[in-house]
Amino acid sequence: MEEDNNIPKGDPMKKFFYFLIVLTAVLSACSEADSENYYTVDDAKENGDVIVKHHTENFDQIAQQGALEVENIGEMTELIEKVENEEEYSVNVSIFNPDETHYKNTFKTDGKNHHF
């Protein structure tokens, strides 16, 4: 079986933190975050955002069936490494729905405190 090099290995806390970040990114798309219709996938790629493209607006299909596509997930791995090294870092997660609405969330750490 081939291993995914983007998923932290070993430390259960790393795995939990990684899972928490991904879960928060997915669930936050269903929140009441500010919508920005003029921000495109190309803009997000150019800015180095983690990009989450929902293939449906149905929460159950997104959460249970994985009806989404994620690009540039390495930025989240970098965030985990920065947390472990108690360094500052931030990552923008841009979420695009099928109707082209856009939501942006920022994950930040100053090395000790973490904000989502």
Are the C-beta atoms of 52 and 93 separated by less than 8 Å? yes
Which of these, 51, 36, 41, 35, lies nearest to 92 by C-alpha position? 51
pLDDT in tens, 18-68: 666 766 666 665 554 555 458 899 999 999 999 999 888 887 887 888 888
Q: What percent of the chain has pLDDT above 70?
A: 69
pLDDT in tens, 62-76: 788 888 889 998 998
Q: In terms of pLDDT, which residue wins out, 17 or 51?
A: 51
- Bridge partners (DSSP) of residue 106 are 92
